[in-house]
Amino acid sequence: MEKQNTVVLDIGACNLKIGTDDGIRNIPNCIFKSKMERRKSFISGQIDSCKDHSGLFYLLPFQKGYLVNWDVQKQVWDYAFGKDVLNLKPADTSIILTEPHFNFPTIQEAMNEIFFEEYEFQSILRTNATTLSYRKYEEEFPLENCCIIVDAGYSFTHIVPYHAGKKITSALCRIDVGGKLLTNHLKEIISYRQLQVMDETYVMNQKKGAGSEKSSKTQEQTIRLAGERISVPEVLFHPSDIGIPQMGIPEAIVHSIEKCPEELRPHMYRNIVLTGGSCNFKNSKERVEREVRSLTPSLYKVRVTMSDRPQEYACAGGLAWSTADHFREHLLTLEEYQEAGQSACQRQFIDI
């Protein structure tokens, strides 16, 4: 059978991860406006041509984890599909799209219309990023038939168990902590202790995950990061430190696993997978493993895995899945959509 030309579009609230046979590209999912360059706009990757990153402000398609600004999102998609990035022909391409858990039906319907009626893709598959991550883990550990995916994203952190190809929805857990909150918290700390940076979202977002880097220059002044490199990611483990009355990631993992059937729990504890850009902080894997171990009965083995690029893990999972046997049965074709409309999407994409 002829090889399917498939693109993976992991649509994050901050970044767009695009997977093709040539690899994975990570571009901003937003439009930037510059206060210094006469309010000039930069769509997604065009930010690389911006000469002054101070005072940039964002036009984001997502608010509180859901796609609401279709005008901004459409411009980013146009840029991604155009000659500067993919230069693809939708009529010859199948596309895997990600959406948030418990996405609103109106948003799902709008996505179906845009990708089938405006772009006219050959076929699409709409699913969650955690499902693609599960598919990648399944490829890496074929002897395991279950795992729990921790997706620390921009708006939220989701903890989702999977067993035998299906997510256990009743055990899904969400924490209202993600990359956006961490960046805002960092801005507040720096503004209080050193320099007013509340308008420097772009610069502070870059420095948030800078690892061993201790300083950054903005507005021709130096910002030194010391204790902030510890206190900011600590919010992922103790949201109550900044007034959010919710569990941290280790507690949420245990809570989610304990809601799974008892016979699956030992398998879940030894197959914990960290994904998402907010897992990029140094020693995240070791910290999660240590704290889950302290909360878990000693008879269970605890193992946490994380790839070198956790923000691209879901996209890599989509690429792996697209080469698997029976993948095409999950796709909905343009012809099928034209015949049955939105009802075909509701049938095809249920709980994938």
- Which domain does 185 fall in, by range? 179-234
Q: Please give the pLDDT value at position 210.
A: 56
Distance CA 287, CA 310 (A): 16
* Residue 77 lies inside a defined structural domain of this protein: yes
Q: Please give the pLDDT value at position 217.
A: 45
* Residue whose token pair is 């040539």: 22
Q: Please give the pLDDT value at position 231.
A: 85
Q: Please give the pLDDT value at position 215.
A: 45
> In whole angstroms, what separates CA 153 from the centre of its chain?
5
- Is residue 321 within 8 Å of residue 299, measured between CB atoms? no
Q: Please give the pLDDT value at position 189.
A: 84
CB neighbours (10 Å) of residue 258?
A: 13
Count structural domains, the chain.
3
Distance CA 127, CA 350 (A): 9
Query: 92: domain CATH number?
Result: 3.30.420.40
Q: Please give the pLDDT value at position 49.
A: 87
* Residue 105 lies inside a defined structural domain of this protein: yes
* Residue 1 lies inside a defined structural domain of this protein: no
Q: Are residues 114 and 61 both part of a single domain?
A: yes
Q: Please give the pLDDT value at position 330.
A: 93
Q: Are residues 284 and 338 both part of a single domain?
A: no
Q: Are residues 112 and 74 both part of a single domain?
A: yes
Kindly report the backbone phi and psi dihedral angles of residue 113, in degrees, each rounded to the nearest multiple of 5, phi listed first. Answer: -65, -45
Q: Are residues 82 and 137 both part of a single domain?
A: no
Q: Please give the pLDDT value at position 110.
A: 97
Which tokens is 300 given? 């269970």
Q: Are residues 159 and 111 both part of a single domain?
A: no
Q: Are residues 295 and 338 both part of a single domain?
A: no
Q: Are residues 107 and 168 both part of a single domain?
A: no
Question: Which residue numbers in the chain have pLDDT < 50?
Answer: 1-2, 211-213, 215-219
* Residue 239 lies inside a defined structural domain of this protein: no
Q: Are residues 72 and 108 both part of a single domain?
A: yes
Q: Are residues 262 and 124 both part of a single domain?
A: no
Distance CA 330, CA 309 (A): 27
Q: Are residues 112 and 251 both part of a single domain?
A: no
**DSSP symbols for 6-65:** EEEEEE-SSEEEEEETTEEEEEESSEEE-TTTTT-EEEGGGGGG-S--TT-EEE-SEETT
* Residue 240 lies inside a defined structural domain of this protein: no
Q: Please give the pLDDT value at position 113.
A: 97
* Residue 159 lies inside a defined structural domain of this protein: yes
CA-to-CA dists, residue 205 to 59, 184, 232, 315, angstroms: 15, 9, 12, 22
Q: Are residues 186 and 261 both part of a single domain?
A: no
* Residue 282 lies inside a defined structural domain of this protein: yes
- Is residue 130 within 8 Å of residue 227, measured between CB atoms? no
Distance CA 352, CA 349 (A): 6
Q: Are residues 84 and 25 both part of a single domain?
A: yes
Dihedral, CA of residue 329, residue 331, residue 335 and residue 337, to nearest 10:
120
Q: Please give the pLDDT value at position 4.
A: 60
